[in-house]
Amino acid sequence: MKINVVHVDIVSEEKDFMGLVSWRQFAYCAIGGILAYNIAKPMFFSDYSLETIIILLMVILAPIILIVWALGFLYLDEPDMYFDKWLVYWWIGRNENNIYLYLEEESD
């Protein structure tokens, strides 16, 4: 196994959208919200009962919320990065036998 040391921080990000979330996390929330709205909108204009609408929303919105949470907000301590970045690096590097480590330059 080959270990490559890189001096560019590829995992840190600033919380610059209203000081709460990063732009990457905001994009996941926005895409999830748009999907949830477009899926749930036809249910409100149909003749379903309130209980049926609540059950359908729970069945439809729960996976969307879990996917947005996993991709945008789940932080993995062992590789020291968010799950979506780890997933991309795993997908790209599954055939490679390399590990990329971030090493800060020591300033004296």
Average pLDDT, the chain: 78
Q: Quick one: how far is CA 17 from the chain centroid?
A: 16
pLDDT of residue 9: 64
**Residue 107 reports pLDDT greater than 60:** no
Q: Give the tens place of pLDDT for each residue, 16-47.
A: 777 788 888 899 999 999 998 888 888 777 78
Task: State the total domains in the chain.
Answer: 1
Q: Give the tens place of pLDDT for each residue, 49-65.
A: 888 888 887 888 889 99
Full domain range(s) for residue 36? 2-102
Q: Is residue 90 part of a domain?
A: yes
Q: Is residue 50 part of a domain?
A: yes
Q: In the Cβ-directed half-sphere of 56, how many Cα atoms lie within 13 Å?
A: 15
Cβ contacts of 31 within 8 Å, gap of 6 or more? 68
Residues 62 and 58: their CA atoms lie apart, in Å, by 6
pLDDT of residue 66: 92
Torsion angle of alpha carbons 17, 20, 23, 27, nearest 10°?
Answer: -110
Averaged over 82-101, what is the pLDDT? 73
Distances, alpha carbon 31 to alpha carbons 5, 25, 51, 56, 91, in Å = 34, 10, 27, 20, 22
Q: Give the tens place of pLDDT for each residue, 78-88.
A: 777 788 888 88
Q: Is residue 28 part of a domain?
A: yes
